[in-house]
Amino acid sequence: MNQESLQSLLPQILLALGSTAILLGGAWVRNRRLWLLVGALVAIVAALVAAFVEPPQIDILGMYSASAYARFCTVLWSLTVAATLVISCRYVDIFRFGGGEYASLMLFAAAGMSLLSAATSFVGLFLGLEVLTLALYILIAFRHGDTRGAEAGMKYLVFGAVATAFLAFAIALIYTATGTFNLQAAAVGLQAGDGLRPLGLAGWALLLVAVGFKISLVPFHLWTPDVYQGAPAPVSGLLATAAKGAVLAAFLPLLVMSGEGIADIKAILWLLAIATMLVGTFAALPQTNIKRMLAYSSVVHMGYLMIALIVAGADGSRALLFYLVVYSLATFGAFGIITTFADENGEIQDYDDLRGLAALHPRRSALLAVFLLSLTGIPPLAGFFAKFGLFQAAFRGGYAELAVIGVIASVISVYYYVRPVIALYAPESASVCRDVAARSETLLLVGCAAVIVILGVYPTPLLSLVALIIP
């Protein structure tokens, strides 16, 4: 690897080196909040470098790209991790986490997400995905002595190992059929009419299974509610937003640039999108646990995002990136509110725990209502505009049936998103008066809500940025 390649990978190197330094420093200085804030600073610096430092080369060893699109994703994931570390400051004190280890793993996960989004080959894709997954294995079960967390970690480990096996076998079959590890070349190679094409299609089918596990597509979603419920709330928020978004971002350039090479795969994606939207929606309806409801919510939103992947082209790419940003803000905010309500008695889980909290904590209750209503798609919040743009792209791309099913799923979702809001503003008094949120937590969540409102009223700046960086 030459100097230009290293400079082009500078954001990822900063995240990896920062993770290592914090891990070593945390062994000597046992100050939880210090290392979380240092980790947030490292992530912000990596985001700034990705945004403003022009890389000397775009193609890095034929494995990764330093394009504007890849750097945009690095900025998005790095800022998400920085926000997660900030929102975790009081949480790690309550549950006595190792601050250095926690921050180090978060930065390690950010490096994996960045590499995953920048991958241009199956080797780079595999390495980025495994770096991310290895960090998540530990973070999910980070709360020592919590049997539910240990169970969640074990389930994610088992399903993650199965997904890795599918991915490795898929890569082997695709390489056998096409003779290349390059993502775009492998997709285009499927157009060849030789006898190896069925082998390549089998490889892509196995690849979809692996991706389905990672982003909770139906029928590979069964781990999601249990893992989200058992994991620490900040980690669940990261799982639902950046971790899934990075996988989707890795495949967007592939579907945009491969032309008709993967038309057969799009037919499978069509079925997966419909099943994911409908099954996720009806599974969320009877939930009375807010983390499990948000888990099924993330399943449904992955179905929406699959529509954008199927549409591809300029319209699909813009709709996906805009939707991904808005969805990440709202979902991070919802899990962030759950994080701020945590105390020595544990996290808020059931809707009964929310009942009457608005009278005691009006600001946080109002913020949670904003985040949930944005996920519903209520105007004038950004969630409405994001869904409108996505469904409009589906109509333009000739996938009207997907748009109609998406609209139906959105209408039904009003029921399970509004239920916790009703519980918050119920006349009954809350059984427990939760702790007052730290100022940094409140400012961060208010900022997320403000961006959601602004993008709902004036989305042009983000749309213009997305138009500049789409692959």
The region that residue 72 occupies, defined by phi over 0 for left and psi between -120 and 50 for alpha, beta otherwise, is alpha
Point out which residues pair with 346 in neighbouring strands: 343
Nearest to 327 by CA among 471, 462, 423: 462
pLDDT at 110: 94
Residues 113-128, mean pLDDT to the nearest whole number: 90
Place 140 in a pLDDT band, splitting at 50, 70 and 90: very high
Residue 319 has pLDDT above 60, yes or no: yes
Is the distance from CB of 454 to CB of 377 less than 8 angstroms?
no
pTM for this prediction = 0.93
pLDDT at 359: 82
More confidently predicted of 59 and 232: 232
Point out which residues pair with 257 in neighbouring strands: none
For the chain, percent of residues with pLDDT exceeding 70? 94
Rounded to whole angstroms, what are the CA distances from 134 to 109, 110, 130, 168, 421? 8, 12, 6, 16, 35
Residues 154-173, mean pLDDT to the nearest whole number: 91
Q: Which amino acid is at 406?
A: G
More confidently predicted of 335 and 440: 335
- Kindly report, residue by residue over 263-276, the tens digit of the pLDDT: 667 788 889 999 99
- List b or e across 372-395, with b for residues whose CB sees 16 or more CB atoms inside 10 angstroms: bbbbbbbeebbbbbbbebbbebbe
The sign one gets for the Cα dihedral 126, 128, 134, 140 is negative
Reading the block at residue 352, the tokens are 């009964």
pLDDT at 134: 92
pLDDT at 192: 58
Place 375 in a pLDDT band, splitting at 50, 70 and 90: very high
pLDDT at 312: 73
d(C-alpha 238, C-alpha 227), whole Å = 12
More confidently predicted of 195 and 285: 285
Place 30 in a pLDDT band, splitting at 50, 70 and 90: confident
- Kindly report, residue by residue over 409-426, the tens digit of the pLDDT: 999 999 999 999 998 888
